[in-house]
Amino acid sequence: MNHFHHNASLPVILTVAGFDPSGGAGTAADLKTFASHNCYGVAAITALTTQNTQGVSAVEPVKSTMLRDCLETLLADGQIRAVKVGMLATRSNAEVVCEFLDSNAALPAVLDPVLRSSSGMELLDAAGFEFLRDHLLERALVVTPNTEEAAALTSLKVENVESMKAAARKLVEMGARAVVVKGGHLEKPVDVYFDGTELETFSADRVKTDNFHGTGCTFSSAIAANLALGRHLHDSVMLAKAYVTEAIRKAYPTGPGRLPLNHLFRMQQGARSADLSPAVAEPVH
């Protein structure tokens, strides 16, 4: 008997991002987020980093030829249902991703335009930034910049909800199909969603501290997971925000620096429930 048929329904999601050895951001965060949504994650690494909870100290981009080969190899399995694009590091990597998105235009893509780490390390070179702004925005189903990234992309000052709305509108004018401008640092965390027609704000309660690592990566990968599960973009954004808020609420320190989110809180809740359930005796034959 085949015991694996039920796994055929697990959507496969591709993350194209950097590797964070501390597990809080990048592909590690994405893969954990996909798993927590009952999806299967595969990853194409754009860069290796040296980092821990206290910050990023070094970045080593992957060669664009290696990235292209990796994307083509993963695509050859024919199962990918959505794509999350994060840190790209270099223009040549951004060009490879652009070609990939052009060749697979039916795949919903979430673009998180990562420019620098929270500790200030540049994660995309200047030529890569210009290429992302001029060519990648229009190739994603949704773009998810934070306020700093939205300001860099639009040349607007983005520091409150009204300016976030203006930046979202301008990004759509620049070619983006839909935008979520993330305002997690605001006194009350607010995200602005705009799809060219509908403009909406999503707010959440401030949780403990804003000293968190990987919230942007996690948010964009949660959107991708919900899209892969067949949900509408608006609903995917709403559900992703709820997931991230709870992952923040359940975060715990793994080092003395910024707290990584608890991406797997749903699985841990399920495990605790199982531990509390009464044991069922095996039938005696």
Q: What is the pLDDT of residues 14-54, one digit of tens each?
A: 999 999 999 989 999 999 999 999 999 999 999 999 998 88
Q: Helices (DSSP H) in the chain: which residue ranges? A: 26-36, 64-75, 91-103, 126-131, 147-154, 161-173, 215-228, 233-249, 265-276
Containing 40, the helix (H) or strand (E) segment is strand 40-52
Rounded Cα gap, residues 185 and 249, in angstroms: 15
In this predicted model, what pLDDT tens digit does every residue of 150-208 receive, in sequence order? Answer: 999 999 999 999 999 999 999 999 999 999 999 876 777 789 999 999 999 988 766 66
Residue showing tokens 């592909």: 27
Three-class SS of residue 198? coil
Q: Using the predicted structure, report yes or no on whether residue 229 has a pLDDT greater than 90.
A: yes
Tell me the pairing of strands 190-194 and 12-19. Answer: unpaired
Q: Using the predicted structure, report yes or no on whether residue 284 has a pLDDT greater than 50.
A: no
Backbone angles phi and psi of 132, in degrees to 5: -60, -50
Tell me which amino acid residue 274 is: A
Q: Are 55 and 257 in contact (CB under 8 A)?
A: yes
Q: Distance between terminal CA atoms of the chain?
A: 22
Q: Grade residue 265 by pLDDT with cuts at 50, 70 and 90.
A: confident
Please report the domains of the chain, with CATH numbers, ordered by start residue: 11-262 (3.40.1190.20)
Backbone angles phi and psi of 162, in degrees to 5: -65, -40
pLDDT value of position 270: 65
- Angle of helix 147-154 relative to helix 161-173, nearest 10 degrees? 50
Tokens of 12: 């496969």
Question: In the predicted model, what is the mean pLDDT of residues 106-132?
Answer: 93
pLDDT value of position 7: 54
